[in-house]
């Protein structure tokens, strides 16, 4: 299997996580962490349900992966996430020593691996990771576009009453 085909397979698992978030009324972002061909961490946004600002998809997946490996060092892993990581998540990925981060669509408001900041490739930090943007970009973007359009429509209807 080619690298792109493999990346798309794992991104589809992250998209499935994003759909779980959407079903819970959360912003549809999903993530998986892969180690030696197996998913060892999964997560989707849970900020609204948990009322915890750190329960981003990536953070949940990182915690699960660390438990699975019995180590905070997530060497020989790759994170797949539907939306470019924010500064908190990109920092956690640096601290966890994740070597490869693959994302679907860029985040113009909080993207910290390419769009606004380049935390994963900053030479001043003690760890850097490979950045692979744009895997299944359209599918990932559509999830977010549809979710926020529904919220705007709901809010517009509520204002008209």
Q: Which of the residues are catalytic?
A: 58
- In whole angstroms, what is the distance from residue 134 CA to residue 7 CA? 10
Contacts of 76 (CB under 8 A, 6+ apart): 35, 36, 99
38 bridge partner residues: 35
């Amino acid at each position: 299997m080619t690298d792109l085909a493999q990346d798309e397979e794992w991104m589809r698992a992250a998209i499935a996580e994003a759909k779980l978030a959407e079903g819970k009324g959360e912003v549809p972002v999903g993530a998986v962490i892969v180690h030696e061909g197996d998913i060892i961490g999964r997560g989707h946004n849970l900020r609204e349900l948990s009322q915890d600002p750190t329960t981003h998809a990536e953070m949940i997946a990182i915690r699960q992966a660390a438990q699975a490996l019995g180590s905070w060092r997530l060497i020989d892993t790759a994170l797949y996430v539907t939306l470019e990581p924010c500064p908190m998540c990109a920092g956690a990925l640096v601290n966890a020593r994740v070597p490869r981060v693959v994302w679907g669509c860029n985040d113009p408001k909080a993207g910290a691996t390419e769009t606004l900041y380049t935390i994963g490739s900053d030479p001043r930090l003690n760890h850097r990771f490979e950045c692979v943007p744009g895997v299944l970009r359209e599918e990932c973007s559509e999830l977010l576009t549809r979710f926020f359009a529904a919220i705007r429509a709901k809010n517009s209807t509520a204002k008209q009453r």
